Structure 1
Amino acid sequence: MFTGLSTAMNLIAFEGKYPLELKNNLENSFPLSKLKTVVMKILSSKQNTAHLINKFEEYLIYDDILCYTWKILPSLTAKSNPSDIYIMNYLLLLGKMHVQKNSETKVLCCVDEETASAFTFDQAVTRRSLNKIWNCTMLWEHSPATHKQLLIVLLERVLPYLDKPLLMTDFLMDSLDVGGPVSLLALQGIFTMIQVHNLDYPNIFAKLYSMFEPEIFHTKFKARLFYLSDLFLSSTHLPEGLVAAFAKRLARLALVAPSEDIIIICMFIGNLILR
């Protein structure tokens, strides 16, 4: 499978460098249809293609591949409810793609250095594509696994580039009630909304308090919870009763927490008392 993808990308590179018909710019000579075929295969609805997506990520360091992948992605986005396999493949690919150009300018398909230097990465186009496809992904029916992956991609890649990020508020608030890792990820999204977009969410401390359960120590997102809690509780203007409630809850959790987490909890309680 790796060999097939590498061969396909090499063919795209050679056709871009040595087109059968010379065009006046890179956009006209870029083999867009071949790239679209590659991405279609990656977005399989029948089998997990995470290994291919990881391999394809190696080509996303090239600005032309990244830019044109964004351009073709809206046409490959399912409009109705696709399978969970397709959704997971789609979100994994989306999580690999930057909206901005790469820090180091590289072009895979170019006739010469002059053509490569003339290539311009159009961030406005990539941002429009992102907003278009994100509206579709939000309409899909998500399983717990794809719901979690959707939140990861939203927080790590998508949220800063949405035209109307506050439209995510209801989705994030609903996700807070799901429990487990999904709630933790939603909490981070809510914090971003409060911090960056001035969202008013009066019950946020009650939600945060309810997340401190013994089960939290068995998830890989527990560090994220402590980090976010530290940010939420860092204000010196919080009521003493609220801070005391969190300190008491954490102290009780320390009785059943794994040994490596007890140290973190004790330090957290100490910080709450000092504030």
Structure 2
Amino acid sequence: MPCKSNDELKELVNEARKITKSGRVADYIPALGKANPNDLSIALNFPDGRCFSAGDIEKKFSLQSISKVITLALVLMDRGKEYVFERVGMEPTGDPFNSIAKLESMAPSKPLNPMINAGALAVTHMIKGESIEDRFQRLLQFVRELSGNDGIQFNQEIARSEYDTAHLNRALCYFLKQHHIIEEDVDELIDLYTKQCAIEMSCLDLARIGIVFALDGKDPQTGNQIMPAKIARICKTFMVTCGMYNASGEFAIKIGIPAKSGVAGGIMGSVPGKFGIGIFGPALDDKGNSIAGIKLLELLSKNYNLSMF
């Protein structure tokens, strides 16, 4: 079923677009700095196959940190929660997503949760496979299954740009390697991780992934249980507690749904049992979240009483 343009969503996009000038694109990754800060789009995907959208829906963007949720789901299926959470914690952190501070002060020195960079690198390390390419292809195939789009690829320019500038992530990896959280070659892990972050899609694809999480791992189009319900619920819990970087508490109060953002400007939302949300708006606030995307979700939550709390 095609995604229909929606006048109500158009009004919300037009309203939210007014604040894009208050944000800035993530130019610390050179390839992301090329984005148009005025772009904004949204798609809503419902269990009965209906999809509504507005804005620049043809624009593609890289998942960045949104990929952390998807990789966590795959690794929980690969390894089981006991294995994963022996190596990565479950607690929110008030520190920036790329901070090394808690690793230095915690004992044992494991990342606090899978949504900060240190935790995400540890989770990516756990993807099963015989080689970097094999592991990446397994993840990419999982993304394609979740989105129902076999054409999804990764953006090589963005992956290379991130790989070349990943100095802090390399530092996190070496710290994790010192404490035996990761055991592989650091540059190989960074290669895998930057390709993971550079997986590219539209807000329509992202909304389709959002509905699978909203329905506890079930694809409403095919009826397939893509992931066990308990794993989808774990992922949604992390989305609530840690999904919006260190603005997650405020987001839970103002909007109140599981969501995950990325510094390319994407936001995936999952309204439990109801619908999936895909948003793209590359102008970011000072926490690294899409400034107009957050505004869009505030308007949606206020108009349709979305909060699960």
TM surpasses 0.5: no
- Determine which structure has greater relative contact order: mean sequence separation of CA pairs < 8 Å that are 6+ residues apart, divided by chain length: 2
| Greater strand content | 2
Q: TM-score, normalised by structure 1?
A: 0.29
Pair member with larger Rg:
1
